[in-house]
Chain A
């Protein structure tokens, strides 16, 4: 059977395409702020959200969206108000999220295969309603990145200079945190909570070795994210593998090739 004959694969590709483009676009700014691992911390909070969704019998994706966004904003507030160093703030959210998730999952009696689909991604359980939510939130997320692009770049290049010149640093950092939370929540159905952070970081690392400007790097990262998701979903369909692992291994392979080939790329450019 041709891969696109299956309805669930059409949904998975459509949803995955949004995720593949959105995750690196947001991840670029996290990587430049040296916050590459924040996605992991927020992912664990999203796990607590999924568990709360089961316990309260509400949409796990909706509950994860709320939990991930609150976690991302909490990390930023703790960091920016110097209540905790960045890594300590992340550790606080990271461990609280995973512990709350385990407690809530056991309370809900939800330690089952459906939960694992959130942890590692699944192409069988994504529905058209999931796609609609991902498409809407993805479009809003990309629009916010486009509107705030210059401000986010200014803060990434020189936060103190941006603050002195009057840019609203606090609002920009909170906006980036919310974007990270939304990206993780909408991506977990395809890539899985435990691996989504990788899709925000690995394409950016690869693109950073090939691009020649901020714009080209972000564009390349989005393209690498899209290729990784589409190829990963295809492999997982034919080889019956968890899609999250296949997608992230492909992205990691591209990143390794780019890092390894960076000196050769530089030599070619310099003539």
Chain B
């Protein structure tokens, strides 16, 4: 089975800017739950964008599901949750409408939803425990429930790879813990590959199999239990 995500000797810089990533090698196997952590400006979001084919590396190679990341077919196999501040609209949107938006790519832009699409949308809403709120405007839900609705949106396309970019930014510690536990349950139940990108990874440390620390390159890649104590605060300055 091909790797879900693979980076080989990847270097990257934005036009006219200093190097953001250099010599990055990363292999994420199907079914793994991996957190990519590091300080702000360390390159973790850039690494994610290169891995997803949204940015082309200056050198090296990025592959998704064994295909070049920027031309991988069937991209609906990826479920993506952006930072909360970049989600949502001003108008009222029901939970069902938000979650259905995550199914469009799998069905095809111009094709109407069929029974199996509606079933997948309902299943995703049920999976996150919002079945009773399916017809409620998402703006009336709590912050945690809104986050679950967007997870359901990412799940509605029945993804093989679930990518979460700083999903707990601005969320208190208790909510982060609850979210981490929820992701752990989701990973166990669905067996989906999860890439969790976060400045803080304490909330998911008990549930992930690997921690990848990024500071211009990968400075640690291994199980959280083996993580040296001084790395637990990724914002700390290290030589």
Cβ of B88 and Cβ of A157 under 8 Å apart?
yes
In Å, the complex CA distance between A164 and B102 comes to 11
Task: Give the contacts of B116-142 with A (CB-CB under 8 A).
Answer: 135, 137
A211 to B92, Cβ gap below 8 A?
A: yes
Q: Nearest A residue to B107 by beta-carbon distance? A: A150
How many residue pairs, one in A and one in B, have C-beta atoms under 8 Å apart? 104
Q: Assuming A157-B93, A160-B82, is B105 touching A165 (CB within 8 A)? A: yes
A166 touches B97 (CB 8 A): no
How many residues in A have their beta carbons less than 8 Å from beta carbons of B?
32
Find chain B residues with CB under 8 A from A158 CB. Answer: 80, 82, 86-88, 101, 150, 153
A164 contact from B52, B92, B135, Cβ within 8 A: B52
Expressed in whole angstroms, the minimum distance between the Cβ of B97 and any Cβ of chain A is 5
B69, chain A: closest CB distance, angstroms: 11
Whose C-beta in chain B lies nearest to the C-beta of A28? B91
A151 within 8 A of B: yes
Residues facing B in A210-251 (CB within 8 A) are: 211-217
Interchain nearest-CB distance for A148 vs B (Å): 7
Measured as residues with beta carbon below 8 angstroms from the partner, the interface class of chain B is 35 or more
Q: Which A residues are in CB contact (< 8 Å) with B113?
A: 150
Interface-centre pick from B93, B100, B150 (highest chain A CB count, 10 A): B93
A187 to B234, CA, bound (A): 56
Assuming the A-B contacts A208-B92, A217-B91, are A163 and B100 also in contact, with contact meaning beta carbons closer than 8 angstroms in the complex?
Answer: no
State whether B89 touches A164 (Cβ < 8 A).
no
Q: Does A66 contact B (CB under 8 A)?
A: no
CB atoms of B76 and A166 under 8 A apart: yes
A92 at the interface (CB under 8 A from B): no
Whether B102 pairs with A165 at a CB distance below 8 angstroms is: yes
Least CB distance from B153 to A in Å reads: 7
- Tell me whether A150 and B90 are in contact in the complex, defined as CB-CB below 8 angstroms, given that A161-B80, A164-B163 are known contacts: no
B contact residues around A147 at 8 Å (CB): 110
**Assuming A164-B80, A165-B76, A166-B74, is B97 touching A208 (CB within 8 A)?**
no
Q: How far is the CB of A34 from chain B (nearest CB, A)?
A: 8
Interfacial residues, chain B to chain A (CB-CB below 8 A)? 52, 54, 74-76, 78-82, 86-94, 97-98, 100-102, 104-106, 109-110, 113, 135, 137, 150, 153-154, 157, 163
Beyond the given pairs A150-B109, A154-B105, A168-B109, 13 more chain A to chain B contacts, judged by CB atoms under 8 angstroms and listed by A's residue number, are: A31-B90, A151-B104, A157-B89, A161-B81, A161-B87, A161-B102, A162-B101, A162-B104, A165-B79, A165-B102, A204-B91, A208-B90, A216-B92
